[in-house]
Structure 1
Amino acid sequence: MHHFRIRSLMPRWRYALLGAVRDWMREDAQTLVYIGKVLLACMLALWVSLKFDLEQPRTALLTVAIVMQARTSMVLAKSYYRLIGTLVGIIISVLLIALFAQERILFLLSMALWISFCTAGSIVFRHHQSYAFVLAGYTLCIVGLPATLNPDQTFNIAMTRLSEIMVGLASASLVSALVFPQGVSELLRHSVRNRFRDFSRLLTSLDRRKLAAPATRAETLRMVGNVFELEIFHASSSMESDHSRTYRQRLNLLNSEFMAVTTSLHSFEQLMRRLHRSGHPQVVENLLALFTPVQAAVLTHQREVRDEHEARQVVLTSSTLLDHWETHLQEVKSRLPADLSSSDTLDFATGTALILRILNELHAYTSTYAGLDTSQKAAAVKIWKMPGMGMHFDPLTALLAGLRGALVFAAMSFLWITCDLHSGVEAITFATICSTLFASSPTPRRTVRQFITGVLIGTILLYIVNFHLLTHAQGFAMLALALSPVIIVAAWLTTKPSIAVIGAGIFIVFFLHIGFNNTFAADPVNFINAAIADLLAIMLAGVFYSLIDLSNNQWSRTRIAQALRELIQEICVHPAQPLRSRLETNVRELLLRMGTVHRVADARDKEVVDWLLSTLEIGQAVIALRSEAHSTPVPSIRRSIKHSLHQLAQLFAQPSTAWRNTTIRSITDSIEHLQQQEIRMQLTSANHQQLLAMLHFIRGALLDTDSVLTLSASLDIAEKQGVLNNA
C-alpha cells in the first residue's frame, strides 16, 4: 500500500519539476544567456581593439554595453541607428573644426546649437530614431572637443573613434546573431496574445457590480501604454526577415483596430455608469442583456482565447451575432416598458449604437488577430497600405528640451574655460550624454537620480579595478578576468527594468575611465579629477532637469490638458473629415511622451488623465457625428449640427459653466430639430438614428457631474470669484 502511494506521487513530482525547469528556462536562463552574451561581446571587442592596436579600446567596450539587447533584431536596429548618428556627429565635428578651429567661443556656440537641435530631435522622434539624434549630439563632444586641442589631428581622431565604434557594433551584432539568437517575432506574438487576453477580461468584467463600484483609470491607462509597448518591439522586427516585416505591417492594422475597440468600450462603460447613477435601471438592464452575447463571444470553453487559432472561433461567433443583430435587438426591445420616456428611449438607442460599434470593431480586430498565423499575400498587401503610428508632439516642449541641452553644454563649457578643469572635455561629454540621453525619458529627474547611483557604484568599482586588479593583470586572459565581474554585475542590473539605469551608469562611467587604452596607465590624480568632473557634470544636468521639468510639474500638466482639448477643437471645426485612428494615436502618444501613462496612480495627474478619457469619449462621438451628418440629405440638420460642434469646440477652448450650458442648449436644440424633421419628413433611416444617438451621447457626457468639463467649469467660477473677492 505504501509502495503504491509513493509510485502514484511520482508523476506529480515529475510534473512539478518539469514546470520549475520551464519557468527557469523562460526567465532566469534567459537572463544568464544575455549576461553571457554581453560578456562575450565585450571580450571580443577588447581582443580586436588590442589586436589592431586601436587607441581607445574602451570606446569599443562602451559601444557594446550601449547597443547590447536581449533580442537580436533590437541589437541590429540599435547598431544601425548608432552608426548613422555617429557618422552624422563626425561630419558635423569635422565641419565645425574647419570653420571655427581658431575661434573657441564660436565653436562652442555652434556645438551648443547642434546639441540643442539633437536634443529636440530626440523628443520629436521615437525609439531608435530618437537614439540616433542622441548619438549625433554627444559624438560631437567625443570627436570635436579633443580635436579643438589638436586641429591638425581632426581627421585621425574622427577615423579612430569611428573604427573603435565599428568594432563595438560588429562585436555586439555578431555575438547576438550567432550565440543563442533570439528573434523578436515570438515576443511580439506573446505580447499580442496577452493583450487580447487582457482585453477579453476587461470586456467581460463589465457588469452591474462594476457599474456600482468607483471608476478606475488603471485598466484604461494600461491599455493606452500597451500599443506603444508593442511598437517598441515591432519597430525592430524589420531587421530579422521578410516574415517579420510582414508581421510588423499586420501589427500596424491590429494596433489601429485595438485602439478603436478599446475607445468604444470605454465610451460604452461611461454611458452605462451615467445611466446607473442617474437611476435608469430598466435601460441599464436591457443594454446589459444586449451586451451579454458580445461578452460571451470573446470566450471559448468558458475562458479567454489563448492563441490565434482559437480566435477564429471568436470571428465566427461575432459574425453570427452581426448577422442576427436585428433579431436580437428586437427581442430586447420587446422587453422594454411601453411607457418609456423619450429620454430613456434615446439612452437605449445610444447604448445600442455603441454596442453595435463595439461588435463591428471587435470582429475586425479579432479577424486581424486570427490572421497573424497565416501568410496570405492579399492580407500583406492590404496592411502594407495601412499607415503606421503617426507623430504628435508639443513643439514648445521640444524647444525647451533643446534649450535645456544647450544650457547644460554652455554651463559646463563655461566652467571648463573659467576654472581650467583638467578633465573638462570628459565633464562636458558626460554632461551632454546626460542632457541628451535622458531627455525623452518619461521621468528624467528619477532617471538622473538612478544614473547618479550607478555612477557612484561604477566609480568605486573602477577604483578597485584600476588600482588593485589591472596592476597585476598579465596578458589578455588576466585582463579579461579583471573586467568580467563589473561587466557581469552591470549587465545583470540592466535586465531589471526598475533599476536598469543604475546598470547603465556603471557601464558608462566604468568604460569611459577604465585605466587602459592600448597601454595601461594608473594615475590617481587623473582618476580623482575625472571622478569629480563626472559628478559635477551629472549634478549640473540634474539641476537643469529640475529647472526645466517637462514632465512632472503643473506647467507641463496644463500643456498636456490644453493639447488634448485642442484635438477636440480640431476635429469639431476642421473642414476635412477627421480620422478616429489619428485622434486616438495623437491622444495616446501625447500622453506617453509626457510620461503620464507611467504615473496613473499619481493624484497630481488625475486632471490630465480625466482630460484624456474625456477627449477619447467625446472625440469618437464627434467623429461619428460628423461622418453621419455628411450623409444626411437635409441641409438644415447639417447646419444645426455644425453650429453645435462650433459651440463644443468653444467649450473645449475655454472650459466654463457659461460655455457648457450654451453647448448643452445647442445640442438639445439639434436633437429637437432632428426629431421634428423625422416627424415632418418621416425620416427613419439608420443615419438619423445614429445622429440622434451621438448627439444624445455628447449631451450626456456634458451633463455628467463627474466630468472634467464640469469640474473645470466650477474651478473657473471659483477662480473668478476669488479674483472679485480680492479686488
Structure 2
Amino acid sequence: MTYPSLRDWLFSVKTFAAAMLALYLALYFELPRPYWAMASVYIVSNPFVGATRSKALYRALGTALGAFAAVMLVPPFVEMPFTFSVIVAVWTGTLLYFAMSDRTARSYVFMLAGYTMPLIALPTVTDPTTIFDVAIARTQEITLGIVCASVVGSVVLPSRLAPTIVERADMWFRDAALYGRETLSGHLAGTGLSAIRQRLASTVYGLEFLLSQLAYDHTHPEILKRAEALRGRMLLFLPMISALADPLIALMRDLQVRPAGLDALLADTAKWFDAPLPTRAADMHDDAGDPVADRLRERIAALQPARELITGWEGALFSNALWRLRQVIDVWQDCRALRALIAHEAGTWRPRYRHWRLGGTERFFDRGMMLISCLVPVSAIIVACMLWISSGWHDGAGAVSLAAVACCFFAALDEPAPMVFRFFLATCASVVFAGLYVFVVLPHVHDFELLIVIFAVPFILVGTLIPRPQFNMVTMLVAVNTATFISIQGAYEADFLVFLNSNLAGVAGLLFAFVWTRVARPFGAELAAKRLLRSSWQDVALSASSTPIADQRNFASRMLDRLMQLIPRLAASDEHRQPSIESFRDLRIALNALDLRRSRHKLSGDMSAAVDRVLAGVSAHYAQCAEASERQNAPQALRDTIDDALGRIAGASRDFIATHPAPEAPTPAGEPQHIGASQRWLRDTRHALVGLRLSLFPHAGAQPPELSGEAKA
C-alpha cells in the first residue's frame, strides 16, 4: 500500500481546518444544525482550487434551488401524501436527467437540486409550518461550509488544476507512445494492446470534466483553448493510428511487400514517439517547430510512389499508408506542442493538423439508458415513501432521503448497485464511529478547543484518502456521515434511543436502495455496450446514405465521443477481430463515407455513380447490422462494388497521366506542385475507397482489386 503523500496530508489538514472553522461559525451564529456546515466542507473540498470553487458554486446554487422547490411544494401537497411522494420522485428524476445531460461541472447544480428537495421536504411533512425555516437554515448552513472550504482552499497553499491536466496528459503520452510503436510494428491485437486502448479512451473521456473545472482555477483563457485543442487531438490519435495499421498490414503482411525506406521511416517515427516531451516553451514556438517531425514529413514526401504505381493496388496501399502516417505525425506534433504550452503557460502555437472534422462540439447521449437510470431513483422514492407512510415510522423520512441520495449519486454508472452497497457499508461504519463519539467521548468535552483535538486524528487520517480515486467515495462518505450523525449542537444532548432510531433509518434506506437498484437494474455494461454499438451502426448507415446531414463536423464529433464511451466497456481480448478494433473500423468507415459524399460531386463521368453504389451498399449493410442488433459480415457484392469504383478512379488517373506526361516535383507536404483540383478529388476519393475496403474486409488485403486493367463497363 502506498502511504499518503505530502500533498494528501496538506489537503487533509486544510479540509479539517475549514471544517472546524465552519463548525465554529455555525455554533457562534446559533444555526439549528451546525454539523451540516462541517459536513458540507467535506462534500465540496477537492485537492485543487478550481475544482473546489466550481463544486462550491454549483452546490450553493443547487441547494438554493432544491430548498425553493421544497418551500413551494410542501404546503399545497402535504395533505396528499401519495401525490406528494410522486411529485418528489418526479422532481428528483427530472433534475437527475438534466444532470446526466450535462457532462461538465455544471451538472452538480441539477444533481444537488434533485436530492436536496426531498432532504428538506420529507422530514417536515409532519410539521409543514417549519418548512420555510428549515429551508433557510439548511441553505445557510451549507453555504457557510461552502464559503469556508473555498476560502481556506484558495488562501492556504492553493493547488492548481493545470498541473494535474499535464500529469493526465503525460500518462496518455506514455500509453499512446507504446500503442503507436506496436501499431507501426504491425501488432494490432492482444490483451495488452486492448487494455491500452481502454486506458487511452478513459483518460481522454475523463479529461472533459476536468477541463470544465479549469476555468475556475484563474487559468488564462488561452490556456483553456489549448487544453481543449489538446483533448481534441488526443481524441483523434487512436482512430488515426488504427487507420494507419490497416494499409501497413495489408502491404507488408498480406502482400509481403516492403517498399524501400518504409521500414526505416516507421522505426524512426516509433523512436520519435518515445522522445522526451519538450521541457521548454521556447522549443515549441512557431519559428522553431519540431525538426524531427519536419524531417519525417520530408521523407514521406520523398517516398511517394510514382504516379503510374498509384493506379495499382500496391501503390494505392503505399500511398494511403504514407498519407495516414503524415496525419499521425501532424497530430502527435500538435499534442507535444500543446502539452508544452499548457505546462509552461507561454509560447505560441500553429496547428499542423488541419481538417474539416476538427471543431465539432456535439456529444453522444444514450437517452434510453438515461431514462432507465432516472426511473430507478423515481421508483425507489415512490416505493420507499409508500412503505414509510404505511408503516407510520416517524423517522422514515430519513430512510427515504438517503435512498434518494444513493440512487442519484450512482445513477450514471453501468452497474450502480455495488457502489450503493459501499455507500451502505460506509454509513454503517459512520454510525458506529458517531456512536462512540456521542456516548463515550463527547460527555468529557467542555470547550471547542478540546473538540478540535478529539476530532483531529480520525478526520485528518480519513481525509488523506479522499484524494485517491479508489478511496474517494467511501472516505468522503465516512467523513460526511460521521459529522452528520454526531449532530454537534451548542450544548451536549444525547438520547441513545433517538440516536439509534434516527440513524438506523438512514442505514435501512441505503439497504433498500441497494436491493431496489439490484432488482431494477440487473443489467450492466454489456447492455450499454450493445446499445452503443447499435447506435454506432445506425450512424454509419446514415453517413453513407443520401440523407442530408446538417453538420458533418458535429456528426463526426458525436461518433467519436460515442466511441470513447464504448471502448472502456468492451472487454480486453487478444483476438484480431476484437470488438474495440471492429468499433474503430466502424468509425473509419463512417468518416470515409463522409469523405466520399464530399468528393462525389466533384467527380465526372460514371465515377460519381460508382461512388453512389458504394455508399448505398455500405448504408444497406450497416442498416442490416442495426436492425439485427448484431454485427454481420460484409457481403462480397459490396467488395466488388468498391473494387469497381477503385478501377474507375484508377482509369481516370491513367488518363490524366497520359495527357500530362511531365514529371511533377513533390513539395514538402507530399503533393505535386501543379496537381489540379480534379486530381486532388481523385486522390481523396481513392484514399477513402481504400480505407473502406480495408475496414470492411480486413483479411482481403492479399486479394487486390483489378486496378491496372480497364475499368469495368
2:35 corresponds to 1:44: no
Distance in structure 2 (CA, Å) of the matches to 1:213 and 1:391: 30
Amino acid at match of 1:148: V
Partner SS for 1:155 = helix
The aligned residue for residue 686 of structure 2 is 692
Distance in structure 1 (CA, Å) of the matches to 2:461 and 2:360: 38
The aligned residue for residue 476 of structure 2 is 504
The aligned residue for residue 15 of structure 1 is none
| TM-score scaled by length of structure 2 | 0.85
2:620 corresponds to 1:647: no
Query: Equivalent of 1:675, from 625, 650, 656?
Result: 650
Deviations 1:365-410 (A, max 9, x none): 4444454445579989xx9x98585331011111111111101111
User: Cα RMSD between the aligned structures?
Assistant: 3.5
2:698 corresponds to 1:704: yes
Distance in structure 2 (CA, Å) of the matches to 1:157 and 1:428: 18
Distance in structure 1 (CA, Å) of the matches to 2:696 and 2:679: 26
Distance in structure 2 (CA, Å) of the matches to 1:442 and 1:230: 19
Residues 497 and 657 of structure 1, relative CA distance in 2, 3 Å threshold: closer
2:325 corresponds to 1:355: yes
How far 1:582 sits from its partner (Å)?
A: 5.2
Structure 1: which 5+ runs fail to align?
A: 1-22, 708-727
Deviations 1:280-337 (A, max 9, x none): 221477643443444455565xx5555655556663332344456432435xx79xxx
Residues 520 and 551 of structure 1, relative CA distance in 2, 3 Å threshold: farther
Amino acid at match of 1:97: V
The aligned residue for residue 386 of structure 2 is 414
Deviations 1:140-175 (A, max 9, x none): 012212332222222211111110011110110111
Query: Equivalent of 1:613, from 573, 581, 584?
Result: 584
Amino acid at match of 2:694: G
Partner SS for 1:216 = helix
Residues 608 and 165 of structure 1, relative CA distance in 2, 3 Å threshold: farther
Distance in structure 2 (CA, Å) of the matches to 1:369 and 1:70: 22
Partner SS for 2:412 = coil
Deviations 1:218-251 (A, max 9, x none): 22222212223333322212112252x3311211
Deviations 1:73-126 (A, max 9, x none): 110000011111111111211221243233222222111111111222232222
The aligned residue for residue 425 of structure 2 is 453
How far 1:577 sits from its partner (Å)?
A: 7.4
Question: More helix per residue: 1 or 2?
Answer: 1
Query: Equivalent of 2:397, from 414, 425, 428?
Result: 425
Amino acid at match of 1:251: A
Instruction: Determine if contact 1:452/1:505 at 8 Å carries over to the other structure.
Output: no
The aligned residue for residue 257 of structure 2 is 282
How far 1:201 sits from its partner (Å)?
A: 4.0
Amino acid at match of 1:432: A
Partner SS for 1:108 = helix
Instruction: Determine if contact 1:299/1:314 at 8 Å carries over to the other structure.
Output: no
Distance in structure 1 (CA, Å) of the matches to 2:178 and 2:507: 48
2:370 corresponds to 1:398: yes
Residues 646 and 542 of structure 1, relative CA distance in 2, 3 Å threshold: farther
Distance in structure 2 (CA, Å) of the matches to 1:650 and 1:509: 56
Query: Equivalent of 2:109, from 128, 132, 145?
Result: 132
Query: Equivalent of 1:90, from 67, 85, 100?
Result: 67
Instruction: Determine if contact 1:85/1:136 at 8 Å carries over to the other structure.
Output: yes
Query: Equivalent of 1:104, from 64, 77, 81?
Result: 81
The aligned residue for residue 5 of structure 1 is none
Instruction: Determine if contact 2:462/2:475 at 8 Å carries over to the other structure.
Output: yes
Instruction: Determine if contact 2:48/2:160 at 8 Å carries over to the other structure.
Output: yes
2:515 corresponds to 1:543: yes
Instruction: Determine if contact 1:71/1:183 at 8 Å carries over to the other structure.
Output: yes
Distance in structure 2 (CA, Å) of the matches to 1:526 and 1:665: 78
Amino acid at match of 2:99: S
Amino acid at match of 1:703: F
Distance in structure 2 (CA, Å) of the matches to 1:569 and 1:173: 49
2:40 corresponds to 1:67: no
Deviations 1:635-674 (A, max 9, x none): 6323322331232122222236575334323222222232
How far 1:480 sits from its partner (Å)?
A: 2.4
2:293 corresponds to 1:318: yes
Distance in structure 1 (CA, Å) of the matches to 2:504 and 2:178: 53
Partner SS for 1:414 = helix
Distance in structure 2 (CA, Å) of the matches to 1:344 and 1:221: 33
Distance in structure 1 (CA, Å) of the matches to 2:647 and 2:522: 46
Instruction: Determine if contact 1:290/1:329 at 8 Å carries over to the other structure.
Output: no
Distance in structure 1 (CA, Å) of the matches to 2:425 and 2:320: 55
Instruction: Determine if contact 2:168/2:203 at 8 Å carries over to the other structure.
Output: no
How far 1:533 sits from its partner (Å)?
A: 2.1
Matches within 5 A, 1:174-185: 174-185=151-162
With 310-319 and 344-353 compared, the bigger mean Cα shift is at 310-319
2:93 corresponds to 1:116: yes
Residues 599 and 488 of structure 1, relative CA distance in 2, 3 Å threshold: farther
Residues 623 and 69 of structure 1, relative CA distance in 2, 3 Å threshold: same
The aligned residue for residue 576 of structure 1 is 549
With 420-429 and 118-127 compared, the bigger mean Cα shift is at 118-127
Partner SS for 2:106 = helix
Distance in structure 2 (CA, Å) of the matches to 1:460 and 1:454: 10
Residues 581 and 110 of structure 1, relative CA distance in 2, 3 Å threshold: closer
Query: Equivalent of 1:154, from 112, 131, 152?
Result: 131
Instruction: Determine if contact 1:571/1:622 at 8 Å carries over to the other structure.
Output: yes
Residues 291 and 694 of structure 1, relative CA distance in 2, 3 Å threshold: farther
With 527-536 and 557-566 compared, the bigger mean Cα shift is at 527-536
Distance in structure 1 (CA, Å) of the matches to 2:172 and 2:543: 29
The aligned residue for residue 505 of structure 2 is 533
Distance in structure 1 (CA, Å) of the matches to 2:583 and 2:178: 22
The aligned residue for residue 604 of structure 2 is 634
Residues 212 and 65 of structure 1, relative CA distance in 2, 3 Å threshold: closer
The aligned residue for residue 663 of structure 2 is none
Amino acid at match of 1:447: M
Partner SS for 2:549 = coil
Instruction: Determine if contact 1:434/1:448 at 8 Å carries over to the other structure.
Output: yes
| TM-score scaled by length of structure 1 | 0.83
Partner SS for 2:125 = helix
The aligned residue for residue 714 of structure 1 is none
Residues 211 and 405 of structure 1, relative CA distance in 2, 3 Å threshold: closer
The aligned residue for residue 664 of structure 1 is 639
Instruction: Determine if contact 1:123/1:130 at 8 Å carries over to the other structure.
Output: yes
Amino acid at match of 1:80: L
Residues 211 and 395 of structure 1, relative CA distance in 2, 3 Å threshold: closer
The aligned residue for residue 248 of structure 1 is 224
Amino acid at match of 2:222: T
How far 1:205 sits from its partner (Å)?
A: 4.2
Matches within 5 A, 1:468-487: 468-487=440-459
With 555-564 and 305-314 compared, the bigger mean Cα shift is at 305-314
Deviations 1:425-447 (A, max 9, x none): 11111001101111123542332
Distance in structure 2 (CA, Å) of the matches to 1:320 and 1:209: 23
Distance in structure 2 (CA, Å) of the matches to 1:545 and 1:611: 32
Distance in structure 2 (CA, Å) of the matches to 1:319 and 1:344: 26
2:496 corresponds to 1:524: yes
With 476-485 and 289-298 compared, the bigger mean Cα shift is at 289-298
Residues 325 and 87 of structure 1, relative CA distance in 2, 3 Å threshold: same
With 40-49 and 664-673 compared, the bigger mean Cα shift is at 664-673
Matches within 5 A, 1:216-365: 216-243=193-220, 245-278=221-254, 280-283=255-258, 287-298=262-273, 300=275, 303=276, 305-306=278-279, 308-310=281-283, 315-322=290-297, 325-329=300-304, 342-365=312-335
Partner SS for 1:494 = coil
Percent identical: 18
Amino acid at match of 1:268: L
